[in-house]
Structure 1
Amino acid sequence: MFGLVRTVVNTFQWTKPGFIQIRTATKRAAGSARNHGSSPGKRLGLKKFSDQEVHPGCILVRQRGTKFHAGQHVGMGRDHTLYALTPGYVRFYTALFRGKERKYVGLVANRGEVLPRNEAEFGRSRFFGEIELTGNAVPLLDAPQPQ
């Protein structure tokens, strides 16, 4: 009888919290802080250079933030991409804005034009696309003709 009790007591001695053996990981889990060096580039930067001919929708600059601002006939996408709104030639220039000098990308219709444009002397630059500017109205195909 005492032998059975001694065996039961010895069995419970090894299950005390101090004697329980727990195996832990010997290597830490892989983290993301050191394993991102081989990610591909984002293809940012200038796509068109000064005096290059562009057409509407052509991407001029891909950037994060506004290193370059949209100038004459240039639009800005929601990711700060600058793109051409009209056909023309690319011009890079700087101008003051609220006391700070900004870099701008603009488009001109002719190679000889310079930006920034003196609007007081020359007026604003406008692009009319396929509109007839001679004053003669171009008849529409679906419109009824006057008799």
Structure 2
Amino acid sequence: MAHKKGGGSSKNGRDSKSKRLGIKIGDGQAVRAGGIIIRQRGARWVENNNVGRGRDFTLFSLVDGKVKFESGKRISVYPVGAEPKPAAAAAAKPAPAPAKK
């Protein structure tokens, strides 16, 4: 039986606040201008089209639009109606010819 009341308690009882890092807006989701897309430490993800980077490496949208996660850990935001079309799908599918009667 311990004869001192708080013998081991002085080494316990510490914890840090969570930093709430990570992806806030997913691929294909709408974002407003100034909206935070990713909170991160260091440049794990990098900004691309219409995306800015804060001094704490936060990525945020510069325009209203949809978020696009691209190859090479790049993040873009495309305004509605200006999303990039896949090159392979556009080239493989020609426009249909009008039907003759």
TM-score (norm 1): 0.47
Q: Which runs of 5+ in 2 are unaligned?
A: 1-6, 88-101
Task: Flag the structure with more relative contact order, 1 or 2, with Cα contacts below 8 A and sequence separation at least 6.
Answer: 2
Identity of aligned residues (%): 37
CA–CA separation in structure 2 for the residues paired with 1:92 and 1:73: 13
Q: Root-mean-square deviation (CA), in Å?
A: 2.7
Tell me the SS of whatever aligns to 1:92. Answer: strand
Q: Is the 1:93–1:116 Cα contact (8 Å) retained in structure 2? A: no
Against the structure 1 CA distance between its residues 78 and 109, is the aligned structure 2 distance closer, same or farther, given a 3 Å change threshold? same
Displacement of 1:110 after TM fit?
3.1
Aligned residue type for 1:69: V
Q: Residue 104 of structure 1 aligns with which residue?
A: 74
Q: Residue 91 of structure 1 aligns with which residue?
A: 68
Displacement of 1:39 after TM fit?
1.2
CA–CA separation in structure 1 for the residues paired with 2:84 and 2:77: 10
Against the structure 1 CA distance between its residues 42 and 111, is the aligned structure 2 distance closer, same or farther, given a 3 Å change threshold? farther
Against the structure 1 CA distance between its residues 56 and 116, is the aligned structure 2 distance closer, same or farther, given a 3 Å change threshold? farther
Q: Which runs of 5+ in 1 are unaligned?
A: 1-26, 95-101, 118-147
CA–CA separation in structure 2 for the residues paired with 1:103 and 1:115: 19
Against the structure 1 CA distance between its residues 36 and 108, is the aligned structure 2 distance closer, same or farther, given a 3 Å change threshold? farther
1:61 matches 2:38: yes
Tell me the SS of whatever aligns to 1:67. Answer: coil
CA–CA separation in structure 2 for the residues paired with 1:49 and 1:88: 12
